[in-house]
Amino acid sequence: MRFRYLGNSGFKISEIIFGNWLTHASQVENDVATASVHAALDAGITTFDTADAYANTKAEKVLGDALRGQRRQSLEIFTKVYWPTGPRGHNDTGLSRKHIMESIDGSLSRLGTDYVDLYQAHRFDNETPLEETMQAFADVVRAGKALYIGVSEWNAQQLRAGHALAKELGFQLISNQPQYSMLWRVIESEVIPASRELGISQIVWSPVAQGVLTGKYKPGAEPPAGSRATDEKGGAGAIEKFLTDDVLTAVQRLQPIADEAGLTLAQLAVAWVLQNPGVAGAIVGASRPEQVASNAKAAGVTLDPEVLARIDEVILPVAETDPSLTVSPATRVA
């Protein structure tokens, strides 16, 4: 496993991060989830990402239980706040001071820890003054409940405004967590340049495009039984934008490139996002422990410029690059 600095800080994370969106307390049983976390630890992964909204707070509890007994100082635990939780009352969502201060305490309790290493705004809150949000985060840091602050899916303008306020309030905004893969490149033209200027790293989610870049979905064929595309709990909606024949045909053309590199398609996809100098880590999920071990093998892989050029030749014509697609809800969803 390789380790990278997160943003303009002295804080290091494993470049492969284990995430439990759509899996823990949802798609897989708790014993399988625990086995997957232990497989991540065995592979050298020390960084774990979750959110209070995953499985309506249950995913945090599963992760906390799975990490119980591990040396806390040897782990980096991330969680997030924004989306509705609990009974979805009028203050159970967003980035108000009330929701942030109550949510961090709930997350710490479920995770079984006194602090999280990174506390992230899961989206930008268009209904709360940014000053209120950033002051609340500053107070969370000063209380020792979070060491660093990050965001998720903020656009370049929002990152600049948030970074300026964080600096004024005396804490560091060090990361952004966007969707990023060979097929979803909307952060490349605006978010990554702004982030590099500000000293903000990307912690990217869905580097294998919800499983599409594993090659298991074939053009003109029904999705495999039990795959994310058939999951009615949320996976199907997240993946459908990639399930076109043009995209799936292009993905199949990546197979010879992966073979020549000695990688699986999934490993090639994860290694690809890690080549971007703005990316500090790639979040991988798993419904089985063996998937974790396989994805972790992308750590430390360097793809030659010729390989990167071949990938672009195949995939760029079907990739999404529109920066306007980095969006947060206009109003809170309760």
Rounded to 5 degrees, φ, ψ at 81 are: -140, 140
Alpha carbon 181 to chain centroid distance?
11
Beta partners for residue 116, in sequence order: 146
Sign of CA dihedral 176, 86, 287, 215: negative
- Check: CB of residue 306 under 8 Å from CB of residue 38: no
Q: Count of alpha carbons within 13 Å of 27, Cβ hemisphere only?
A: 21
Counting beta carbons within 10 angstroms of the beta carbon of residue 277, is it exposed (0 to 12), middle (13 to 18) or buried (19 or more)?
A: exposed
Residue 17 DSSP SS3: strand
**SS3 at position 194:** helix
Active site residue 54: yes
Q: Are 79 and 116 in contact (CB under 8 A)?
A: yes
Which stretch of DSSP H or E encloses residue 168?
helix 156-169
Which entry of 54, 82, 119, 217 is annotated as an active-site residue? 54
Other beta carbons within 10 Å of 123: 22
For residue 275, give the nearest of 191, 156, 192, 186 by alpha carbon: 192
Residues 6+ apart with CB under 8 A from 259: none
Positions marked active-site: 54
